[in-house]
Amino acid sequence: MRIPEDWDTASSDNASLCAKFTFGEHVYGGRDLPYRLFTPKKTGDSKRYPLVLYLHGADAVGQDNRKQLDMHDIGTCLAKDEWQRENPCYILAPQYRKHMHWAGPGMAQHLMSLIEEILSMNTDIDESRVYMYGYSAGGIGALEFIKQYPNSFAGAIIICGATIGKGMDKLTYTPMWLFHAEDDTIVPCGDRSFIPIEGTYLGSRPIFRLLEPRMGEHVRYTEYPRGWMKNTFGINPHCTWVPVGVNKVCWKWLFSQQN
């Protein structure tokens, strides 16, 4: 994708956080999917830890197995010592290559196979606390993943995402918090029609309007007003992962969810 001049970039300390992730590669259906994995410090007892799946946006596409964490701070925000001390967790960060997409054919099955492999390799993961979050293309992919595996995640954070109207009932099984900027022009927070038909993409606002009557407090939506992203951070309004990354309230909410 073409990167606007006012795009967000990673902070100076992000490289040290990226270094805490190990490298891996998962093969499914003849396709390989590189990934990085953060492993929490173990306490030596029988404690079980949450697993968080992080899906990057289209700006981090590639096969270097680095860009998904190097691009922004959002992929490493839960690896910070201040969070890990109180909320130790595994963080799984795969990367898709050019001409692929998180919401593409077979991708949900590939990701589920990867999760199952990580669970088998790390028996101290709490399978009742598997979470997911993603931004932009990652937010779109996260919603598609939930539709195909509606009972697999304890909670999700969707940042500047969207989805087609088909299968919206499948989203009601997973508590989620959606974030979007009102003036996002890359992935608009609204849609072209409030009627959920296949092929019409719904932004975060109509997604919330459709889900809230059925989910109540289990679905939340934060919309940043027009101009707020630019005036507060000096960045493109699509980059809503910046305020979400430092929003401790939403992460505590996520980690309070359990299947």
Residue 9 counted as domain residue: no
61, 95 Cβ separation under 8 angstroms: yes
Residue 4 counted as domain residue: no
- Residue 128 sits in a domain whose CATH number is 3.40.50.1820
CA distance 137 to 124: 30
Structure confidence at residue 196 (pLDDT): 52
Half-sphere exposure of 179 (CA within 13 A, CB side): 24
CA distance 21 to 75: 11
Structure confidence at residue 191 (pLDDT): 72
CA distance 251 to 204: 18
Residue 7 counted as domain residue: no
Chunked into runs of 10 residues, the chain (259 residues) has average pLDDT values of 92 97 95 96 85 97 97 98 96 94 94 98 97 97 97 97 93 98 94 58 94 97 98 98 98 97
Q: How many domains does the chain have?
A: 1
Residue 240 counted as domain residue: yes
Structure confidence at residue 165 (pLDDT): 87
Host domain of residue 163:
14-256
Residue 55 counted as domain residue: yes
Structure confidence at residue 194 (pLDDT): 46
Beta bridge partners of 25: 34
Residue 1 counted as domain residue: no
